């Protein structure tokens, strides 16, 4: 059971993921979380650095779809100005939104990575759907109400994985 919570890859931030490294792996699509993955959960729009990162992916022929558990207004107001397709109220870790994102991009699951900051939603959901998962450190030190509960559970899972010698990444990195 714990294996579903272990990401295939760890990075500090999305900016550590380059189009070149993804293309080398045959990646043509990114399913990414929004809040505390791309920007702070309470930041309404993309930063200039994030806009440049998204442009670099597009220029490399890598599609991006935002899959968020947040409401339509939050996700739409962020994604529409960027011209990025999105799925809101995704109910991650359930598989329906991940499958829908694959369909939007018209790519095979072997050609997709899932990027997120939460083990309980992004990583668990991606792994259950046999997708390559990448865990990033949360962009903000604070979280919304429901995410605070998830983080408490995640700390317990991380402790257990460390005890079993299965965790190769520390938040302090």
At 51-76, the pLDDT tens digits run: 999 999 999 999 999 999 999 999 99
User: Peptide bond before 52: cis, by omega within 30 degrees of 0?
Assistant: no
- The count of domains in the chain is 1
pTM for this structure?
0.85
pLDDT band of 173, cuts 50, 70, 90: very low
Residue 25 included in any domain: no
d(CA 134, CA 145): 24
pLDDT higher than threshold 50 for residue 171: no
pLDDT higher than threshold 80 for residue 11: yes
In the predicted model, what is the mean pLDDT of residues 101-106? 98
Mean pLDDT of all residues in the chain? Answer: 90
d(CA 170, CA 32): 21
pLDDT higher than threshold 60 for residue 124: yes
From residue 52, alpha-carbon distances to 57, 82, 92, 134, 159 in Å are: 9, 11, 27, 20, 36
Q: How many Cα atoms within 13 Å fall on the side-chain side of residue 54?
A: 21
Residue 20 included in any domain: no
pLDDT at 63: 98
Give me Rg for the CA atoms of the chain.
15
Q: Which of 92, 76, 73 is nearest to 33 (CA)?
A: 92
Residue 56 included in any domain: yes
Residue 18 included in any domain: no
**Which CATH number do you get for residue 107?**
3.40.50.1000
How far the first Cα of the chain sits from its last, in Å, is: 26
3-state secondary structure of 144: coil
pLDDT band of 172, cuts 50, 70, 90: very low
The residue segments making up the domain with residue 58 are: 2-7+32-163
Residue 21 included in any domain: no
């Amino acid at each position: 059971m714990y294996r579903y919570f272990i990401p295939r890859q760890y990075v500090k931030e999305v900016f550590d993921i380059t189009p070149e490294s993804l293309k080398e792996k045959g990646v043509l699509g990114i399913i990414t979380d929004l809040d505390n993955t791309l920007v702070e959960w309470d930041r309404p729009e993309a930063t200039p650095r994030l806009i440049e990162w998204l442009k670099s992916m597009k220029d490399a022929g890598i599609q991006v779809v935002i899959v968020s558990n947040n409401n339509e207004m939050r996700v739409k107001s962020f994604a529409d100005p960027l011209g990025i397709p999105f799925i809101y109220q995704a109910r991650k870790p359930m598989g329906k939104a991940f499958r829908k994102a694959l369909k939007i991009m018209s790519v095979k699951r072997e050609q997709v990575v899932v990027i997120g900051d939460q083990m309980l939603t992004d990583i668990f959901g991606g792994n259950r759907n046999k997708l390559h998962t990448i865990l990033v450190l949360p962009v903000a030190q604070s979280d919304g109400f429901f995410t605070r509960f998830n983080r408490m559970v995640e700390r317990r899972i991380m402790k257990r994985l460390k005890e079993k010698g299965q965790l190769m990444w520390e938040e302090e990195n």
